[in-house]
Structure 1
Amino acid sequence: MNLQEHYNELYKKSSETILAGNYKLDSQINNESDSRFGITFLIRPSEIIKANIQSFLNELKAIEPNQYYYPDSDIHITLMSIISCSDEFSLNAINVHEYIDLIQQSLVILDKIKIEFRGVTASPSAIMIQGFPTDDSLNNFRDKLREDFKKSSLQQSIDTRYAISTAHSTVLRFQEKLENPQKLMQVLEKYRDYDFGEFQVENLELVYNDWYQREKNTIHLAEFRI
């Protein structure tokens, strides 16, 4: 996949949808009884990059204060959704140590991952920071995880929703009617190719999480240094 083309196409379609008023509101964000949980293998961006993201979000907050903005603690890149969030899944249904062991076996092929955050894109319901791995290490590792999980008997739902191939971070979700979609799009255009920074991944995290990766609902299962 050409990531730039993918992000461009997503932005083009979604910006038209937003301006036409056909964007989607997330009705579950403030639902305290939302019981959708899963297992995610993820990457956290550097502190410098998160600071740059928050500066961008502050501009959006001035225009659209009633939307859902991700705090630093929740910003992430999904390396692999191992068990998709569902109200049918609970942590006691699996042996976490078996998952940790399998991931450690897969890690033998991984040397390093470096990711550049450049520009923003959108979906009909969210705003994302565009992530670009600087080489094939991330996708090669994903393929290794797919292969190893497929060979195992462990519960997993890898690629059942979609085959992950991007390195974006969702940073805003629409939860209320937009007050000024035109101004929102003007800010997005300003940041369309903005350099948020580049970082080398040092840690990978395995977590039990809710749909929004909120820290208060997250249980950290393991950390892997690379």
Structure 2
Amino acid sequence: MHNKNLHKLYHELYNESSQKILNNEYSIDLNIDNPLDKRFGMTLVIKPEIETQKRIQNFLTELKSLEPEQYYYSNPDLHVTTLSIISCYEGFSLADINVNEYAEIISKSLESITEFEIEFKGITASDSAIMVQGFPKTETLNQIRENLRGNFGKSSLQKSIDKRYPLTTAHITVLRFREKLNDVNQFMNCIEKYRDYDFGTSKISTLDLVYNDWYQREEIVQKLAEFKI
């Protein structure tokens, strides 16, 4: 997806969602603190560089001072989803699959791929989360996704690629609503301040295949394979 389209997509999402948040029509995630939440999956993820992580945490520190009860992503949990190979569902277990077979298909999909950059700039929102906008500087991420879709499409391995929606963005989820906001206007004013903030550009030379929960929490995530490009 070209960045012009990506700008438009993030912009529309923000306009629609910020209205919902201001009208108190946002969704509170009731599973965040649920110890019985057993939704697991397998995802190919990209990690932003340290500098970007730092800038994101500075932004989150400001939000935390206003809304300490919300769910904030720590640095190890920050990621861009390249593709959900197996979307999180109740009862998925690594014992059900052969990780090497997946790694082979991913390696094949990355054969002609070289290092690329993602610029992280500005904030967008959904009705349940706040996200940092990512803009790939080349078409490489789209190419990776197309290669993966094509190669997994030909295989009989368990998968649920694009089951929820086809992934076209490169965002990082940084906050989820887990309680009612104390002061919606104050919260949105702070978001507005960072609406076009430059969180830095990350060089992407590694992709990780991980077993994960819905929130990509460090204590649950297991790295299964690492791919250098």
Q: Same fold (TM over 0.5)?
A: yes
- Provide the residue aligned with 2:173 in structure 1: 170
- Structure 2 partner of 1:145: 148
**Alignment map for 1:70-109 (pairs within 5 Å):** 70-109=73-112
Distance 1:124 1:189 in 2: 16
Shift of 1:179: 0.2
Alignment of 1:1-80 (within 5 A): 1=1, 2-80=5-83
Query: 1: distance between equivalents of 2:112 and 2:205?
Result: 15
Query: Could you tell me which residue of structure 2 aligns to residue 201 of structure 1?
Result: 204
- Matches of 2:182 and 2:170, distance apart in 1: 29
Post-superposition CA distance 1:189-215 (Å, at most 9, x none): 110000000011021000000000001
Matched residue, 2:130: 127
Flag structure 2 segments of 5+ consecutive residues without an equivalent: none
For residue 160 of structure 1, give the secondary structure of its aligned residue in structure 2: coil
- Residue number among 109, 114, 126 corresponding to 1:111 in the alignment: 114
Counterparts of 2:10 and 2:26 in 1: how far apart (Å)? 17
Q: Which residue of 2 aligns with 1:161?
A: 164
Identity percentage of aligned residues: 54
Deviation at 1:34, TM superposition (A): 0.6
Which of 173, 184, 188 does residue 185 from structure 1 map onto?
188
Give the C-alpha shift of residue 33 in structure 1. 1.2
How far apart are residue 143 of structure 1 and its match?
0.2
Secondary structure at the aligned position of 1:217 is classed as coil
Give the letter aligned to residue 3 of structure 1: L
Q: Deviations over 1:131-151 (max 9, x none)?
A: 000010110110010000001
Q: SS of 1:108's equivalent? A: coil
How many pairs are equivalent?
226
Letter in 2 for 1:45: P
CA-CA distance at 1:89 after TM superposition: 1.5
Compute the RMSD of aligned alpha carbons.
0.7
Match of 1:215 among 207, 212, 218: 218
Aligned 8 A contact 2:114 2:205 in 1: no
Equivalent residues of 2:124, 2:131 under 8 A apart? yes
- Secondary structure of the corresponding residue to residue 216 of structure 1: coil
Amino acid at match of 1:49: T
Shift of 1:113: 2.0
Structure 1 moving runs of 4+ over 3 Å: none
- 1:109 Cα shift? 2.1
CA contact (8 A) 2:29 2:177 kept: yes
Instruction: Report deviation, 1:24.
Output: 0.5
**1:137-174 Cα shifts (integer Å, max 9, x gaps):** 11011001000000111111001110001000000000
Matched letter for residue 108 of structure 1 = E
